[in-house]
Structures are given as structure tokens and as C-alpha cells.
Amino acid sequence: MLSRRRIPLLAVLTALLAAPALPQSSEQLEVGPPPMRRAAPPAPGASAEELDRTADDLRADKNYMDAIEYYEAVLKKTPNNAVVFNKMGICYLQMQRFKEARKNFERSIRLDRDLAVAYNNLGVVFYSTHDYGKAIRRYEQAIALDPSAPSYYSNLGAAYFSNRKFEKAVLNYNKALELDPDIFERISRAGVQAQLSSPADRARFDYVMAKLFAKMGIADRSLRYLRKAMEEGYKDIGDVYKDSEFAQLRKDPRFTELMSSKPPAIPD
């Protein structure tokens, strides 16, 4: 009798997503039951607006698969709805199913060439898959359509930074901060940090952020990023004494205290 080999559920699901069909094998795969439905199926008589609201609620609750089912129900009633395709793309993106996310964002753009958010979200797909050149182009298209959105500049800065084009990254981060000084307090740096290839790049990122906040006169945040840069071993930390952006911060006793304490570098 053939032995029954247990394979982790995650590995099985990954394989199922990566290929249209599993090849025939002499081994039997044991998988658990599919996830239980958390929402009732879309009601056939519900209006597109009702279905869309329910889908938005499900997406907010991170119930992405059921949200997608509701968005698909919306599309049956309004087939060329660019906004709904964009929302479905967001669900797939949150699940890191980048192929499906890209497909939906591209469909959204084909239906509405002026939907800036779809270009931005398509840029996030390319950024997440390390295709920074394409990400930059999509973010720039989003900005051309809506130059008032600080997150577009922040995303563009992240793509330039990950592509090691630091001057352009600084310009776009600065623009994002001009539009919204609190943007980096709300947006996790995990996305940027995940793309930076070395501790040196991460330290440089923190130094750049310290410089930007110092230029804006936001001392607390500048000192916070400066400490991180030192902890991450930024090799040019001495520039803090000559970079003009830090002129005012150098007068702050907390700056003197930080620099004299010399926080030890944290191993990567």
C-alpha cells in the first residue's frame, strides 16, 4: 500500500495557485477542508449599490475572498465598473496574489484611463514584485492625474529609493511631507524596508527621513529617525554636523545628548 504523505496546507495551496492543475502523482495529498464562509452568498435581488457596500465592509474586515464574490456580483449588474475592478485588485493585492491583482488593476485602467488610484495600485504590484522601473512609471502616471495625493509621492519615493536613486527619492518624500506631514506616521515603513537590499541602505533611508523632518522643523521625528540611522550603523553620520537641514536641530539639547550617547549599532 502506498504511504500517505502529509504536506503542509500552505505548500499545497501555493502549488495550486502557481499552476493551472497538479500533475498526476502516485502520492495522495491530504488537505484540510476549505475555509468556512464568513458571509452569506450575495442575494440575487440585491442592488449593485447594496452589494458594493457589503463588499466594502467585508474588505474592511479583511474577508477578502467573500468581498471578491460580492464585487463579482456587482459586476454582473454593472459590467464595466472600473472602480469595482480596482477594489477587487486591492483584495487580491492584500492576499499577495499579484497576478490576479495586476489583471484587475489593468482592467480598471482600460475602462477608465483617468482613474489615478488604479495606476497607483498597479504600481504597488510592480513594487511588491521588485520591478521598480514599472512601479515608477505607474506612480508617475497616477501623479500626473492627481498631483494632490501625498501617498503617490511617498510610493514613488519608495520605488526610487529601492532602485537606489536617492536624490529622486528625497524629492518625492519631501513632496509627500509637504502635502501631509503625518504621512510617515500612518504608513508602515515595512514596505520600504522589505525592498532595501542591505543594512547600509536601511540606515541611509533613516538618515534621509531625519533630514527631511529636520528641514520641516519637526524635531521629535527627526531625532527618532536619526537614532535609527545610528543604530543601523549609518557610516556617514558625521554629515549631521554639516548638512544645512540640521542647522536648527543642532541647537536642540536633545540633539547633543543623542550624538554624545552614540547608540550602538543593532546587528542586522
Alpha-carbon separation of residue 90 from 105, 123, 177, 219 (angstroms): 8, 12, 25, 35
For 14-41, the pLDDT digits (tens) are 333 333 333 344 444 445 454 555 778 9
Q: Is residue 6's pLDDT more than 70?
A: no
For 210-226, the pLDDT digits (tens) are 998 898 899 999 999 99
Percent of the chain exceeding pLDDT 70 equals: 79
Between 242 and 19, residue with greater pLDDT: 242
Q: Is residue 66's pLDDT more than 70?
A: yes
Given this model, what pLDDT does residue 5 score? 44
How high does pLDDT run on average in the chain? 83
User: What cell was used for 267?
Assistant: 546587528
Is the CB of residue 237 less than 8 Å from the CB of residue 207?
yes
Given this model, what pLDDT does residue 266 score? 54
Q: Is residue 125's pLDDT more than 70?
A: yes
Distance between CA atoms of residues 156 and 20, nearest Å: 34
Between 232 and 84, residue with greater pLDDT: 84
* Structural domains for the chain: 44-113 (1.25.40.10)
Is the CB of residue 183 less than 8 Å from the CB of residue 218?
no
Confidence of residue 162 (pLDDT cuts 50, 70, 90): confident
Q: Is residue 89's pLDDT more than 60?
A: yes
Average pLDDT over residues 247-259: 94
Distance between CA atoms of residues 238 and 247, nearest Å: 13
Long-range contacts of 231-235 (CB under 8 A, 24+ apart): 231/263, 231/264, 231/265, 231/266, 232/199, 232/202, 232/203, 232/206, 232/265, 232/266, 232/268, 233/199, 233/200, 233/203, 233/265, 234/200, 234/203, 234/204, 234/206, 234/207, 235/200, 235/203
Confidence of residue 148 (pLDDT cuts 50, 70, 90): very high
Q: Which residues contact 162 (CB under 8 A, 6 or more apart)?
A: 127, 130, 132, 192, 195, 196
Q: Is residue 187's pLDDT more than 90?
A: no
Distance between CA atoms of residues 57 and 39, nearest Å: 11
0.75 cut: is pTM over it?
no
